[in-house]
Amino acid sequence: MRNAIVLAAGKGTRMKSDQSKVMHTIIDRPMLAYIIDALKAVNVQRIVVIVGYQAETIKAYFKDVEFALQEPQLGTGHAVMQATQLKDEEGETIIINGDGPCIQKETLEKLFEMNKDASCTLLTSVLEDGKHYGRIVRNEDGNVTGIVEAKDCTEEQLKICEINAGMYCFKNRDLFDNLDKLETNNAQKEYYLTDMVKILASQGKKVNGYIIEDRDEVMGINDCVELNVAYSWMRDRINLNLMKNGVQIVDPKRTVIGKDVVIGHDVVIHPNTEILGNTVIGNHVEILGGSYIKDSTIQEGSIVDFSKVVNSTVEANSTVGPLSYVLNDEKIR
């Protein structure tokens, strides 16, 4: 059984927005949607999203996951305590922050695989300057024995370059059997989920640390500057994969394509173009600059010239535009 708990209760005050941080859009969906999509891609059966600020808005958008309310918000450990619907489940449970949309399904799969012979596997990263991140403490065998939050680190511990990336995979029963051992004897007076590592290690249980190669994949978003960094990372990754598969994107920095878009071969996409949602682009199509396409099908051999096409079909060997607006199931012949 594969489960997941997504921590999404905070407001994200540094966004300076009335909107919940996890509902801010990257390309064509809220950042939280990327995380849920990745979890589903590795066959997670139960996904529990921990909500707090603007809980009803998040619930209204995500219809096919479960929720638990964290009110008040007393730390990451306290957030996990609210997911009581999972306490009797067997198998593995991934815990992930809701503000890390760049995580890939391959990394989640690796976490699940590495935790088969362990009580917990945590994702880590190596930074020259660990800044405000928790530091990873290992024993002589390389197993993790604890995570020390930056605010609680000694001078020596602050020199550690391996940091906590904020993602964990637990044996579900080990997790819920030990949550009541978490305490608030720290600088923030909160229940730290990171303390669970020390608790399990002290019981002689194995804790793995998996160092991720691409640190950007686990970037957290705290303000609009970091939101833009994640947007650019996502755009570049999607465009690179498409180009490797034979799509000619004339200027990838000025082309935005959603992750669910399907594009055939011998397609040319010109700059200042957005292609979003559940769009399918057939073979030998040319999308000229300034076009916007969403939730549409552009069939083989067609040209879209500086036009907007939404929820519609452009039939084979047709031309749309310039300056056309096609909306809601119109068919262009």
Q: Which residues are catalytic?
A: 14
DSSP 80: H
Q: Is residue 290 within a helix (H) or strand (E), and if so which, with residue range?
A: none
Given the structure tokens 């939404």, which residue do they identify?
310
Q: Which of 214, 11, 195, 13 has its CA nearest to residue 127?
A: 214
Can you give the three-state secondary structure of 16-40, one letter per residue?
Answer: CCCCCHHHCEECCEEHHHHHHHHHH
3-state DSSP call for residue 99?
Answer: coil
Taking the C-alpha atoms of residue 281 and residue 327, their distance in angstroms, rounded to an integer, is 17
Give the pairing of strands 25-26 and 2-8: unpaired
Six token digits for residue 202? 């002290």
What's the token pair of residue 280? 């399918």
Q: How many CB atoms lie within 10 A of CB 73?
A: 17
Count of helices and strands (H, E) across the chain: 7, 26
The helix (run of H) or strand (run of E) holding residue 90 is none
